[in-house]
Amino acid sequence: MITKDISKEAKADIKELKDKIQDFNLGRIPEERFKSFRLARGVYGQRQQGVQMFRLKLPFGKITPDQLETVANLSEKYTNGNLHLTTRQNIQLHFVRLQDTPEMWEALESVGVTTKEACGNTVRNVTASPYAGIDPEEPFDVSPYAQGVFEYFLRNPICQEMGRKVKIAFSSSKSDAAFTYIHDFGFIPKIKNGAYGFEVIVGGGLGAQSFMGQLAYDFLPQDELIPFIEAGLRVFDRYGERERRHKARLKYLIEPNKGIGLEGFMKLIEEERKSLKHQTYKINTKKVITKVPEDQSILGVGDFEPNTAYKEWFLTNVFEQKQEGFYAVKVRIPLGDIKSPKARKLADIARTYAAEDIRFTLNQGLLLKYIRLENIPAVYQALQELDYAAPGFDTLADVTACPGTDTCNLGVTNSTALALVLEDLIRDEFPHLVDETLIKIKISGCMNSCGQHMVANIGFHGSSIKNGDKVSPAMQVVIGGGLDPDGKGNIAEKVIKIPTKRIPDTVRTLLNDYEENATEEEYFNAYFRRRGKRYFYDILKHIADVKTLRDEDYQDWGKVDDFVPEIGVGECAGVMMDLVGTILNDAGDRLASGKRTLAEGKWADAIYYSYNTFVIGAKAILLSKDVQCNTHIGIIEDFQKHCVETGEFEGIESFSELVLQINKYEPDEAFAAAYLGQANDFFAQVNNFRSKEAKDKLVVNEFYKA
């Protein structure tokens, strides 16, 4: 196995994680502060006490056989031996001990995989259509652009501690297999007058309140991709909500008639342009090169007679790439779970028959590329041995489900057991629909939509129904989401809440009604829109009748005891308690980073660290005065009112003008040095002001970090 030299940045990150774990274990770091630190390193608390979920960051879902084998070995050594594939083209490892994470991270970095910023208030994993590079309909391969965005914003100071996470996706074509319309930033490739660029969507998102993204640009030239995202992140960092966590997403900032709106957002982006590190940025399109495997004809197949099962699998799980003579095989992974031995064998299949460019898909499966037609039977037989040769990839029979109550703190009901029941239902009762690609079922254990239920034609999220003194586990039924045949995206509509044990009857009723009453060739969502939400409520309400609940209806799938709602606190929220002095230490850390990056000649980074020194320092003083703090822009304005205009901070006429120099000047050495000097002077004033107080002050805030 070829290993890579670990970068000095990664080495520093791993050492820092190890040191912080030691400090936490010795009681030197409060749990809430340590939580925000470890999240940005991919370490996420799970439902079971004393263990963590460890999330990898795999841009556009790409993994090599060597990398997959390494992850399998780590899973076997440090966890329960399972690799869980997510709807964001990542791998999650569960039941990980905190003290093992630095060693695991080091092993991952040695094969070119990071966990940095896989969780937390950062730019999350950059996703893309798994078909990018081989899609017959694509204008050009978006893979290098997704890789370029991942690399540019990894460890970038502008997106380390935003109000919330940011998700970015690239589609390969207008069919929008990447669901760009539900992302903070979505990009669809276009060629205009011979120039490469993107249609740009902003402000989409799922969760408790789902938003369709808005069109920002019909065509953005490729060299303006990075500057646009950077300016957008800077605006979100400065103006985005921070205290009310449920509102701290880009979708709310640009919400029409409530936030600053799309027009206001785009205006602020233009104001940021001058201060960017790059006015244009050329992506290295040679960064992602897929090596075509050598010609190895019919390895170990012998005589092979295609039977009905093979033909059905070939129909739904194989397609011809845009590269003539090559095919891609789509592999269904039930619930997205791969045991370590099977992961290693999948790596061997890719090495033997396919390109070493495996792609994880958004429906928790994987894609093998560049397979020659004559070798497909051998791949089929190898997948059969792993029980991964089921037909119906990304069809009605391929149900997506998040882990739900298996491991997640926020899970209300079990998603995984129900998903398997529904897959059996489709296979046994609707075998003629196993190849139905225009109806998708997705399940989330709660409203947060990790299973992406709001972009399903038929979706469910965990809930409960109270009936007297008893509580039944339930699913909120949503209908009408997903992609139309022309690629237009839809957000599902909530219809009715139904006890979870009756969800199979719900699916049976919906499919029978559709087959009996839809017009010929009528798409499911078109039928839903024609009939209307009330019609579907009426045909399902008898199933939801609590008067007919049986004993089994009070038990969740896979459980024998009656249901008891146990919803924990998600790691993206929670009350934060800290000392003002500790917050000032954060400002001091940013100042030190500014001095370091200035010395390294990284002018733009030094400027942003200086900006953070101003804002965090100001926030500490405001909190000591019991002034509520939220957005960066609010902190700047309130500091002027409560500290400058009162005469407590002499030498500052306009705090806003001082701090917001950041978007008035180009990031050259002269401005970086001057701005850092001003931040240094301000920090000295802040410390002098604080030294006059007799004791440190405890502050309680939903999110203290500026």
Report the CATH number that the domain containing residue 217 is assigned in CATH.
Answer: 3.30.413.10
Whether 481 and 620 share a structural domain: no
Q: Which residue numbers in the chain have pLDDT < 50? A: 573-577, 694, 700, 702-706
Domain presence at residue 87? yes
Residue 401 belongs to a domain: no
Short-list 336, 331, 533, 330, CA closest to 415: 336
Confidence (pTM)? 0.94
449 shares a domain with 364: no
Are residues 19 and 163 part of one domain? yes
One domain, residues 355 and 206: no
Q: What is residue 296's predicted lDDT score, i.e. its pLDDT? A: 63
Is 370 in contact with 326 (CB distance < 8 Å)?
Answer: yes
- CATH number, domain of 658, equals 1.20.120.330
Exposure on the CB side of residue 472, measured as CA atoms within 13 A: 25
Considering the domain architecture, whether residues 68 and 216 belong to the same structural domain is answered as yes
Structural domain harbouring 534: 407-554
Query: Could you tell me if 352 and 209 lie in one domain?
Result: no
The pLDDT score that the predictor gives to residue 702 is: 46
Residue 397 falls within a domain, yes or no?
Answer: no
Tell the residue number behind the tokens 């790409």, with chain if given.
62
Are residues 327 and 263 part of one domain?
no
Domain CATH number, residue 357: 3.30.70.3340
In 3D space, the residue among 537, 316, 343 whose CA is nearest the CA of residue 432 turns out to be 316
Looking up tokens 């206001």, which residue turns up? 264
353 and 467 together in one domain:
no
**Cα–Cα distance between 226 and 284 in angstroms, integer?**
12
On whether both 344 and 270 belong to a single domain, the answer is no
Residues 14 and 141 in one domain: yes
Q: How many domains does the chain have?
A: 4
Question: 369 and 420 in one domain?
Answer: no
Dihedral sign for Cα atoms in the order 580, 582, 583, 587: positive
Q: What angle do CA 685, 691, 695 make, to 5 degrees?
A: 140
pLDDT, the chain, mean: 92
**Exposure string for 180-193, b = 16+ CB within 10 A, e = fewer:** bbbbbbbbbbbeee
- Closest by CA position to 62, among listed 223, 181, 170: 170
> Nearest-CA neighbor of 362 among 480, 291, 456?
456
Rounded to a whole number of angstroms, the distance between the first and last alpha carbons of the chain is 43
pLDDT tens per residue, range 87-130: 999 999 999 999 999 999 999 999 999 999 999 999 999 999 99
